[in-house]
Structure 1
């Protein structure tokens, strides 16, 4: 990160994260900013809606890169247990039902992620990897192909696509934020709901949770949630396989095998 973005009075240091493009800027007056290179262009509307920490300014560099500065958030990430709190489902519902966020995302020229396209991506990735698990991957992609009709022609919303508990930040003012929107997509809300429910909400509480979110859990929604659970689990499995992270890929494989009894067979 170029020092001249802020001036000599500021100290800029890496803020961690997997992208390597996030920084903490501090000056002698103890002011702090969170800087990021080429973050999501619709950060401004997310800031205005109170979904991410306040956007302070945006600057375009000579090389064409865009730097955004947000208020540095003093707070902490939610624990897995805290993901069951009412504030989480309320914020998830607000995001999925926001026409402002949806319209801006569409004006950016974003194409909807259709389930068949997601499936083709997974099939191509599976074919490109040399793995002893070819039969396993074929079985999973076949399941997704057989059931893709359950998830076609669904209403699309802006999905965060990585609602891991580490992306939910509770500020010192007790305001809840959902950060890291770099992977956001226009997709079936079941994509986010699937990750949320399977990872953090006991099955016996799904109906209540979804009622708070604003929908009724029927067979159709359950089939969509399960389809995206399988698709995302396979996606994580393939990604870790690609990174040669075999312990983590094996974890996702076991998860897929263990949960097959839950799948609806229409």
Structure 2
């Protein structure tokens, strides 16, 4: 890659799991480079969801390198995830027809809840012997009929706080779109709400995002939150990150005990008892 950019550029790995990302610096210029990123990146840049795309170029070996402006900034802290800015950007993504059309042109098909359950079956392996994991899988199986397959939008798929970038110019971005998919918006929203937002703030947060807190949406959010947590537990086990795996199993246990069923008027039991 040094030969491609020129010998005056200093190129260093940017970290990450895939090893495909790099920083490039030269003469006061800074770029974020990524190998074989999706063509979807150009549309995300045009929509202002990721830092500006500068160029894409093809190497002799067929690899495609994308370059984005390097944005000085930081990832969001967990406590900042309940801000209205996060909700509004998430709503912008989910309501974007250009983004949805682009993913369809790239051949993406809707990721159905049954497909997600099959992925869990194929990956959890020996983890199924853990009682909390087994209980979570049974929950997904029994609740699958209540998760519809009719409302699909562009989903990021991994909206944890590490992927939210706040620049020094106070611009908010959602980065790392390698797992982008067409799916139920409850997949992204469930992770955000169950993971970061205080329960009493859910209704207002969802309104900022463009959704109503209904019993149906609550069930969908919980279904996807449990499913994604199972996949994260397996990912950490595969990477031998056992401390994080055990922490997430404890969180899964708490999520499965969550009994805040919604009444028809959108109130939780907790809200109702406050009256």
Please confirm whether the aligned pair reaches a TM-score higher than 0.5, indicating the same fold.
yes
SS state of the match for residue 110, structure 1?
coil
Task: Give the match for residue 91 of structure 1.
Answer: 89
Q: How does 1:59-208 map to 2 (within 5 A)?
A: 59-126=57-124, 129-131=125-127, 133-208=129-204
Task: Give the match for residue 15 of structure 1.
Answer: 14
Structure 1 position 235, deviation (Å): 1.0
Structure 1 position 261, deviation (Å): 2.4
Deviations along 1:39-98, one digit per CA (max 9) or x if unpaired, are 122100110111100100001112221100001111111111121222111111000000
Deviations along 1:178-237, one digit per CA (max 9) or x if unpaired, are 111011111100000011111111011101111111111010000000101111111111
After alignment, is 111-120 or 12-21 more displaced?
12-21
RMSD between aligned residues? 1.7
Question: Closer, same or farther in 2 for the Cα pair 1:97/1:246, shift >3 Å?
Answer: same
Question: Closer, same or farther in 2 for the Cα pair 1:224/1:142, shift >3 Å?
Answer: same
Structure 1 position 18, deviation (Å): 2.0
Deviations along 1:103-142, one digit per CA (max 9) or x if unpaired, are 001100012110001001101222xx33582554333212
Question: Closer, same or farther in 2 for the Cα pair 1:131/1:102, shift >3 Å?
Answer: closer
Task: Give the match for residue 245 of structure 1.
Answer: 241
Structure 1 position 7, deviation (Å): 1.1
Task: Give the match for residue 35 of structure 2.
Answer: 37
C-alpha distance in 2 between matches for 1:132 and 1:145: 14
Do the aligned residues in 1 keep the contact of 2:128 with 2:134 (CA within 8 Å)?
no
Deviations along 1:134-163, one digit per CA (max 9) or x if unpaired, are 554333212101101122223111111111
Structure 1 position 172, deviation (Å): 2.0
Do the aligned residues in 1 keep the contact of 2:133 with 2:249 (CA within 8 Å)?
no
- For structure 2, list consecutive stretches of 5 or more residues without a partner in the other structure: 263-275
Name the TM-score, length of structure 2 as normaliser.
0.90
SS state of the match for residue 65, structure 2?
strand
- For structure 1, list consecutive stretches of 5 or more residues without a partner in the other structure: none
Do the aligned residues in 2 keep the contact of 1:169 with 1:176 (CA within 8 Å)?
yes
Name the TM-score, length of structure 1 as normaliser.
0.93
Aligned length: 262
Structure 1 position 242, deviation (Å): 2.2
SS state of the match for residue 262, structure 1?
coil
Question: Closer, same or farther in 2 for the Cα pair 1:25/1:253, shift >3 Å?
Answer: same
C-alpha distance in 2 between matches for 1:236 and 1:104: 28
Structure 1 position 262, deviation (Å): 1.7
Do the aligned residues in 2 keep the contact of 1:25 with 1:34 (CA within 8 Å)?
yes
Task: Give the match for residue 222 of structure 1.
Answer: 218
1:233 matches 2:229: yes
Task: Give the match for residue 25 of structure 1.
Answer: 24
Structure 1 position 251, deviation (Å): 1.4
